[in-house]
Amino acid sequence: MQARIQVDIRQVLPLLGREGFCRGTHAGHPIQLFVRASIEEARMNVGYRVELSQTERGELKALLSGGKRAARKLKRAQILLAADGGASDEEITRSVGVSGSTVYRTKRRFVLGNLEAALSEEPRPGADRKLSGKEEALLVATACSSPPEGRARWTLELLADEMVRLTEHDDISRETVRRRLAENELKPWRKDMWCIPQVDREFVARMEDVLDLYAQAPDPKRPVVCFDESPTQLIGEVRQPIKAKPGQLERFDCEYKRNGTANLFIFLDVHRPWRKVKVTDSRTAVDFAACMRELVDVHFPGQSASASCWTICRPTRLVHFIKPSRRAKPDACSAAWSSTMSPSTSRARIKWMFTTDKARAKMGRAYPKLSTKESKSL
């Protein structure tokens, strides 16, 4: 089939039904491909009008307003809302960023089916799933179990071999294992490091003491100040950056050098928008004591110097925001960060969401259990 050859669709379409046509040409023959494409084009000339009910319209808007959803499902929701609003197929194609066939199929599935059918994927032809439901459950349980002796973790190859041993399958590919694990959001070859504390009576008592302190009403004579420290690396440029100009972003060389380390001490007032960062070369006990002395004598003069004046904690999220970048000096960063929270420029407050009641509800299993004799004595 060459481009200069003119073909009348009305003359070609009847060929599909003639006797001997299928025997004379195979499924991939150009003339059959052309006929099938022409039939699809003729079907797409059928118009499907989308009219959403108030409930369906609200459901689609809620779907688009938030939450983690598949991109295809969100685009179908946009198509239906736009079609319900009276937009043409061409306008929907341009605004949503999809093909005309996608708009057509979505509208058709809604009119001939329902909203759920229009939002979901059409069944696609292909081979049956190799693993049954029970076998997939066995795969998940195996991936969550301890790896074989001498192995640090499960791999796709190890899991595939184990499933061949545990089931009647002669062979299972690593891709089959990968897809089934992905559906269950499992990656046994990855680990997440986390600090798992030993929860005992002393831990619970100190935790609730801190939470109760945060819950107290502000007292000007007894301020509550959080104190934290964070070591950081000082990274410098090897080559001078090229400044930005119209039409070109600022450019930095990928190579940089290490200029030593520094330590950041951070003070945060719980009940008012005040914070202070102090940069030191080390974080020894002497540095800690000097910060405590500065806190009482300079920042909170006339206040009691007892331990109840401050609470030592680790607000790691706040520390994250003030870590200096590899292209800035720590003194400049600390001054800029502190100034953005001064009482004259900001009204921001720290809102502590974790309370004693929430701790008892969420960590109830971790609380020590009282013996029968201890319960009776209380």
Strand partners, 233: 261
In the three-class reduction of DSSP (H, G, I as helix; E, B as strand; rest coil), residue 240 is classed as coil
* Amino acid letter, residue 190: R
By the 8 A CB rule, do 245 and 285 touch?
no
C-alpha pair distances (Å), 176 with each of 106, 155, 158, 182, 272? 30, 13, 13, 10, 56
User: How much is the pLDDT for 23?
Assistant: 53
Taking 90 as the threshold, does the pLDDT of residue 71 lie above it? Answer: no
Q: What is the dihedral of CA 206, 209, 210, 215, to 10 degrees?
A: 160
d(CA 41, CA 101): 9
By the 8 A CB rule, do 50 and 83 touch?
yes
φ and ψ of 366, to 5 deg = -80, -15
Q: Within 10 Å of residue 295's Cβ, how many Cβ atoms?
A: 21
Which tens digit of pLDDT belongs to each residue from 259-269? Answer: 888 888 988 88
By the 8 A CB rule, do 222 and 304 touch?
yes
Strand order in the sheet with 310-312: 275-280, 256-269, 225-237, 310-312
By the 8 A CB rule, do 186 and 143 touch?
yes
pLDDT band for 159, please (50, 70, 90 cuts).
very high
User: What's the distance, Cα to Cα, between the start and end of the chain in Å?
Assistant: 93
Which tens digit of pLDDT belongs to each residue from 103-127? Answer: 998 998 888 888 888 888 776 666 6
Taking 70 as the threshold, does the pLDDT of residue 86 lie above it? Answer: yes
Q: Greater confidence, 47 or 136?
A: 136
User: How much is the pLDDT for 348?
Assistant: 65
Handedness of CA 145, 147, 152, 153 (dihedral sign): negative
d(CA 147, CA 152): 7
Beta strand residue intervals within the chain, DSSP E: 225-237, 256-269, 275-280, 310-312
Element holding 40 (H helix, E strand): helix 30-44
pLDDT band for 316, please (50, 70, 90 cuts).
very low
Taking 90 as the threshold, does the pLDDT of residue 80 lie above it? Answer: yes
- SS3 annotation, 120-177: CCCCCCCCCCCCCHHHHHHHHHHHCCCCCCCCCCCCHHHHHHHHHHHCCCCCCCHHHH
User: How much is the pLDDT for 213?
Assistant: 86
Taking 70 as the threshold, does the pLDDT of residue 239 lie above it? Answer: yes
* Amino acid letter, residue 93: T
> What does the block give as tokens for 39?
């039939």
